Structure 1
Amino acid sequence: MNSIRQRLLFWQITALVITCVLVSALTYQLAWQAFNRERDFAMEQIAHSVVRHGVRPGSWASNPPAAPATADDLGRFISQIWSPDGEILYSSVNGTGPPLQQAGFHEVAWSGESWHVYTLVDPQQIVQVAKTSSDRASSFARLAPWVLVPSVLLVLVLSTLIHAAVSRALRPLDSLGRDIQRRDGNDLHPLPVQRLPRELAPLAMALNQLLGRVGELLTRQRQVLADAAHELNTPLAAVKLQAQLARRSEDGQRDAALDDLDKGIERSTHLVAQLLQMARLEPDVQQRHPRPLRCDQMAADVVGAFSARADARQIDLGLESSDAATVWMDAEDFRVLLDNLVDNALRHTPVGSRVDIRVRLAGERVTVTVNDNGPGIAQAERERVLQRFVRLNPQDTSGSGLGLAIARRIAERNGGGIELADSPCGGLSVSVHLPAHRGASAGDGQFTG
């Protein structure tokens, strides 16, 4: 039963039926007791009537009245008159009838049946009135249906009203569902919540928040695709032009043209790789496997991987004395973060510069810092360069404007952040702050590069 309407109707009507059954049983019991009291009162009135208006025993002592011809009809009231000393003087049936009882109401067995008996003691006579229990029950059985009819009508009427009330109460939910079904895939405007019932307003607001997040995601993806297409257009056009020039060049100039072609291909490859890295950072795109990572050891691996490239540009790339700090991250994410920081520093520092990596552990925070002595970035531009595809110098074709944006995204998704500052050696200092992981035995001390 997955329908809210069916559940509401089932439980409400079930509760109504159970209540009506209990009320009917109580009503039946109360009516039966009232019926018995009424019949007992009638028997009492008959006994008193006989005492007030009946013939005294002294007047028939020599000639008692005979029982009627229908005296064997046990379905009627039986009346008996006894003398004070217990002698039967009169009985409305052949024989004596039920045995004489003490004054008051009694239930006795006689002639194979149960009898209700009332006995009235008078100074001159004893009057006893009796009636069978089965006759009393059959009389009440003829009245009982009329006692239960109101409960049946109540169930029918209230079931109809409950069904109408539930359908009317759920009408806003049906309307909200139809509104959502009528929308196409591009209609992400918020749902109206002003006229919704209080119970539906949180659902509508949650859907509006979801629609807003989906809209932001689609907008961001469209922007990324547009920026990617724009960024790829320039290097691909340059590669095509350089290939044509290499084909037309003389033998002496062909090597230089091929070198330019290699540079264009390298830039395009680098841009595509960073676009793939940015795409993998989207939620649910790639499953991640976080584990304890030693930041100082990972930094040493990155220095080794970029050492040949740094040597080619005569850049002094090294790892400063660092703390043995551990973070809880996916290894690939952390490696991509470090690669982009070091790659960005090597691309934007001149030949013969210096790039240093340092890892520090302070309390619950690990800080990985990359310092260079290049031209640096003005403080007013530092927030902007953390956005995608932002290059402060459009004529600089060595970068794609994605390195710092990727590093920032990785840091934020792992509970950290990124900070740009002036380097002690005069260039740019990029610091990534991450939560420290204390679960692994990181070991104390320092790692010296």
Structure 2
Amino acid sequence: MNSIRQRLLFWQITALVVTSVLVSGFTYYLAWEAFNRVRDFGMEQIAHSVVRHGVRPHSWMLDRPEHPAPRATARPQPQDNPPPWVSDDLGRFISQIWSEDGELLYASVEGGGPPLQAMGFNNIQWAGEAWRVYTLEDDEEVVQVAKSVRDRASTFAQMVPWLLVPVGLLVLVLSVLIRAAVNRALAPLDALRQDIRQRDEKDLLPIDTRGLPEEVAPLGQALNQLLERVTRLLSRQRQMLADAAHELNTPLAAVKLQAQLTRRAPEHERGAALDELDRGITRSTHLVTQLLQMARLEADGRERQPVPVRLCQLAADTVSAFSARAEARGIDLGLDTCETATVLADPHDLQVLLDNLVDNALRHTPPGSQVDLRVEREANRVTLIVNDNGPGIPEADRPRVLERFVRLNPRDDATGSGLGLAIVAQIAQQNGGLLTLASSPPGGLSVRVSFSAHPADTASPDGTMPATA
């Protein structure tokens, strides 16, 4: 039973039935006690009426031999063989009168009723069944009235259905009202479900939460936040597709043109044409690679696995991977200061971040420049720094270069795509890092990415903890 409606109905109706059963039992007990008190009061009234008005003995009482009985002070033992003349009158009130000396003067049934009992109410066994007896004494005589308990219970049993009918109606009516109340209370959820179900994939407008109950309004607000994030994501993806199509159009058209020129070029010029074609293909390949990286980061479909990563080892591997390319361009690429430090991040993301930083520095610095990598640690922060002595970026333009497809000097950068720093910024954000751009000491650009140090590494700064590079 995984339905809120069914759960509410089950528990509420179950509570109603259990309560009704308890109330019925308590009501039965109170009604039985009240019924007995009323019947006892009636027996008292009969006894007082006999005392006040007196009773004239029947003729059979005058002819019957006298059977004087001593006044009882305690309950008598049950009699297994009652007189035969009592059986025809069982179930009625039995009235008896004794004189002061214990002589039976009157009995409402032939043969007499129960033996004389102590004053007040008594429960006795007589004639094979239970009796309720009331005895009253005045100045001249003793009056005793008896009533069969079985007859009293039989009379009360006829009243029980009338006691249960209101409870049954109460359960029935309240069950209907509870069901209606639950359906009405859950109506906003049904309306919200219907609203969402009727929408198509293009309708991402916010849900109207003004009429929702307090318990449902947070759900509607959360859905609106989700719709807003989805809208922003789709907008970024559409913008990215448009920008990617625009960016790919230029290098692909250039590659096509260069291929045509290479085919028509004379033999002595064909080598230069092929070099130009190779540069066009390299730019297109680089752009496609960065587009794939950005698409993966935007979709965020891969589940990240943060592990301890030693930045020094990662920086050293990156310098080694780009050393041949740097040497080909005459750029001095090296690892400067490297303090032992470990961060908790996705190693693949950090590798992509470093690759883009070094690649970006090598592309934008002229031959003969210097690019240095540094890993610094201060308190609980670890900072990865890439410095170059190239032309740098003016402070006013630094926020712009973190956007996608932004190139400050597109004519001077024939192979750049404007995605490198945007990818770095997104990776830093997704891994809890902070990216800042500043001027390097030689006057070029200094890119700094700061992370929180790994807690275990904070306690053991010697770097002996196993880490993944």
Whether TM-score is above 0.5 comes out as yes
- The correspondence for 1:383, drawn from 389, 392, 399, is 399
Contact 2:382/2:452 (8 A) holds in 1: yes
| 1:105-254 alignment, distance < 5 Å | 105-254=121-270
Contact 1:64 1:90 in 2 (8 A): no
Partner secondary structure for residue 86 of structure 1? coil
Q: For 1:256-275, what aligned pairs fall within 5 Å after superposition?
A: 256-275=272-291
Q: CA deviation at 1:131?
A: 1.0
Q: Is the 8 A contact 2:255 2:281 kept in 1?
A: yes
Report if aligned partners of 2:312, 2:375 keep a CA contact under 8 Å in 1. Answer: yes
Q: Distance in 2 between matches of 1:5 and 1:306?
A: 64
Deviates more, 1:275-284 or 1:261-270: 275-284
Aligned residue type for 2:193: G
Deviation at 1:94, TM superposition (A): 3.0
Q: 1:55 to 1:247 in 2, by over 3 A?
A: closer
Amino acid at match of 1:35: F
Deviations 1:134-173 (A, max 9, x none): 0000001111111221111112222222222222222222
Match of 2:339 among 316, 323, 347: 323
1:10 aligned counterpart, secondary structure: helix
Give the 3-state SS of the residue equivalent to 1:191 in structure 2.
coil
Partner amino acid, structure 1, of 2:139: P
Match of 1:19 in 2: 19
Kindly tell me: are residues 289 and 161 of structure 1, through their superposed partners in 2, closer, same or farther at Cα, counting changes over 3 Å?
closer
Contact 2:333 2:372 in 1 (8 A): yes
Alignment of 1:362 with 2:378, yes or no, is yes
Q: Which piece of structure 1 moves more, 419-428 or 321-330?
A: 321-330
SS of structure 1 residue aligned to 2:239: helix
- Quote the Cα distance in structure 2 between the aligned partners of 1:256 and 1:414: 44
Q: Which moved more, 1:389-398 or 1:101-110?
A: 389-398
Report the TM-score when normalising by structure 1: 0.94
Contact 1:64 1:89 in 2 (8 A): no
Q: State the identity as a percent.
A: 67
Corresponding position of 1:443: 462
Please give the alpha-carbon distance, in whole angstroms, between the structure 2 residues aligned to 1:65 and 1:51. Answer: 24
TM-superposed CA distance for 1:283, in Å, is 5.0
Determine helix, strand or coil for the equivalent of 1:401: coil
With structure 2 as the length reference, what TM-score do the two structures score? 0.90
CA distance in 2, matches of 1:229, 1:337: 24
**Which residue matches 2:76?**
none
- The one-letter code sitting in structure 2 at the alignment partner of 1:219 is S
Give the secondary-structure state (helix, strand or coil) at the position aligned to 1:320.
strand
CA distance in 1 between partners of 2:175 and 2:310 (Å): 69
| Alpha-carbon distance between aligned partners in 2 of 1:193 and 1:5, rounded to the nearest angstrom | 22
For 2:101 and 2:264, how far apart are their aligned partners in 1? 152
SS at match of 2:89: coil
2: CA distance between counterparts of 1:259 and 1:322?
A: 38
Q: Which runs of 5+ in 1 are unaligned?
A: none
Give the Cα–Cα distance (whole angstroms) in 2 for the partners of residues 62 and 275 of structure 1. Answer: 127
The farther-off stretch of 146-155 and 340-349 is: 146-155
- Secondary structure of 1:382 counterpart: helix
Superposition deviation, residue 324 in structure 1: 0.8
Match of 2:113 in 1: 97
Write out per-residue CA displacement over residues 57-112 of structure 1, whole angstroms, 9 at most, x where no aligned residue. Answer: 9xx99777999x99831121111111222232222223232111100000000111
Residue pair 2:35, 2:156 contacting (<8 A) in 1 also = yes
Deviation at 1:310, TM superposition (A): 0.8
Match of 2:443 among 417, 426, 441: 426
1:442 is displaced (CA, Å) by 5.2
Whether 1:6 aligns to 2:25 is: no
Give the count of matched residue pairs.
443
Judging changes above 3 Å, is the alpha-carbon distance between structure 1 residues 232 and 392 closer, same or farther for their aligned structure 2 residues? same
Amino acid in structure 1 at the alignment position of 2:135: T
Q: Check the 8 A contact 1:358/1:369 in 2, yes or no.
A: yes
Which of 330, 336, 361 aligns to 2:352? It is 336
Shift of 1:435: 1.1
Deviation at 1:178, TM superposition (A): 1.1
Greater alpha carbon shift after TM alignment, 148-157 vs 372-381: 148-157
Please report the RMSD computed on the Cα atoms of aligned residues, expressed in angstroms.
Answer: 2.3
Whether contact under 8 Å (1:294, 1:442) holds in the other structure is: no
Name stretches of at least 5 consecutive residues in structure 2 with no aligned partner: 67-82, 465-469
- Measured at CA, do residues 63 and 294 of structure 1 come closer, stay the same or move farther in structure 2, by a change above 3 Å? same
Q: Is the 8 A contact 2:342 2:463 kept in 1?
A: no
Residue 172 of structure 1 contacts residue 196 of structure 1 at CA under 8 Å; is this kept in 2?
Answer: yes
- 1:306 pairs, out of 302, 322, 340, with 322
Q: Shift in Å at residue 195 of structure 1?
A: 1.6
* Aligned CA distance change for structure 1 residues 263 and 52 (closer, same or farther; 3 Å): same
